[in-house]
Amino acid sequence: MNTNFKSWPILLALGLTSVPLVTMYAYMIIDTVTVSPPGSFIPNGISFGSWSFLWEAPAPGRPSIWSVTLNTFIFACVSTLMALSVSLTGGYALSRLHLPFRGFFLGGLIVLHAFPTITLIIAIFLILQMVGLYDTLAGVILVKAALEIPFGVWIMKGFYDTVPWEIEMAGLTDGATRFTVWRKLVLPQVQPGITALGIFAFLSGWSEFILPQVLAPGADAQVLGVYLQSLISDDTSMDFAKFKSVGVFYAIPVILIYILFNKHLMNIYGGGTKG
């Protein structure tokens, strides 16, 4: 913005510090479509061999990539829908409705929002075992959605707070019920919030590793994160090209979402979650 200052020292400093990341990104793609001679990183040929996991039959004892992808998709979508619908009603109640113990709920919400949920995983593991939801996709989905709720309610409450009261008053004067007012008049007003929270929850579900790994380790409920990690830790040949191909496949939705919605993303991650 400032013409008084030279910008090349800044470009140099930023460029140098970004070298490790840029190298990693570049070779993430390069290694999946080329072959290099051993001991060198300059490719000498094109090869799509490392993508064979997409069409070849899976190794014995390993689920097929497509069933894992379907699991991941179900996991991310259902947990997003659950978290979204619960946050939409909960946020509205906290922002606008008459509630007993309202102050108490709000205080609890802030405490939960900051509370590190990962510390609860041991107890959640035992609780799921006791109620019989251990090693099922349904169990992990429920846990994932529930853990997103404090953040979701918090964000949605913020969006509801900015909706003018006059809109609701007008609806009520015209004879609509509170429920109709919420559904027909208020929800369209918080559309940006729904988009932002939906994207956030989907990305968070798509990337999740620890919850599925601990709560549903079986092959039937495996998701992409767990699939890739077990591929890396079981493999003795260190076939980075193969790992990276699976990784790039795994990252496609994330990159697409980033390209389409990057404004929304910067806003919601700025709201402060995750270390």
Partner 1 sequence: MRRTDLFGLGFMAPALILTIMFFLAPVVMTGVYSFTNMSTATGISGGAYLISPATIRSLTEQGFQGDAIERLSSESYVVDEAGLEAAEAAGYTPRFIAEIRSTLLGDTFTGRRDFERALKDLSHRPRSIRDLKKATELFQKSVLNVRFETEADFQSALSSLNLNLSPAEAVFLTETAYTGWIWTSANYDRAVNLPSTYRATANSAIYVTFTLAFNVGFGLFLAITTFYLPSGQAAFFRTIWFLPRILPPVLYVLMWKWLTWDTGFLSTLLSHFGVPPHNLMKHTATHAWVVVVLINGFVGASMGMILFSSAIRSIPQSMLHASEVDGANRWQQVRYIILPQLRWPILFTTAYQTLSLLTSFEYILLSTNGGPGSATNVWALYAFKIALNNYGGNLEYGYGAALAMVLVIIGIIASLFYLRLFNFKSMITSPRIEQ
Residues 91-120 that bind partner 1 (CB under 8 A): 92-94, 96-100, 102-103, 105-108, 110-120
Distance CA 15, CA 5 (A): 18
Whole-Å CA distances, 84 to 73, 94, 152, 228: 16, 15, 7, 28
Single out the segment in contact with partner 1 by CB under 8 A; choices: 1-9, 46-54, 59-67, 185-193. Answer: 1-9
Q: What is the dihedral of CA 151, 158, 269, 188, to 10 degrees?
A: 100
Figure out which of the listed residues 65, 140, 149, 221 binds partner 1, where binding follows CB under 8 A. 149
Whole-Å CA distances, 64 to 57, 61, 221: 7, 10, 12
Q: Cα–Cα–Cα angle for 172, 193, 110, nearest 5°?
A: 95
CB of 9 to partner 1, least distance (A): 9
CB of 218 to partner 1, least distance (A): 15
- Residue 35 touching partner 1 (CB under 8 A): no
**39-44 long-range Cβ contacts below 8 angstroms, 24+ apart:** none
- Residue 167 touching partner 1 (CB under 8 A): no
CB of 30 to partner 1, least distance (A): 11
Single out the segment in contact with partner 1 by CB under 8 A; choices: 46-54, 62-70, 190-198, 238-246. Answer: 238-246
Residues 42-61 that bind partner 1 (CB under 8 A): none
CB of 115 to partner 1, least distance (A): 5
- Residue 125 touching partner 1 (CB under 8 A): yes
CB of 262 to partner 1, least distance (A): 7
Q: Which is nearer to partner 1, 107 or 188 (CB)?
A: 107
In the block, residue with structure tokens 């402060």: 272
Whole-Å CA distances, 267 to 155, 196, 256: 11, 8, 17
Backbone phi and psi for residue 29, each to the nearest 5 degrees, phi listed first: -85, -50
CA-nearest of 168, 155, 163 to 195 is 155
- Residue 266 touching partner 1 (CB under 8 A): yes
In the block, residue with structure tokens 């913020």: 158
- Residue 262 touching partner 1 (CB under 8 A): yes
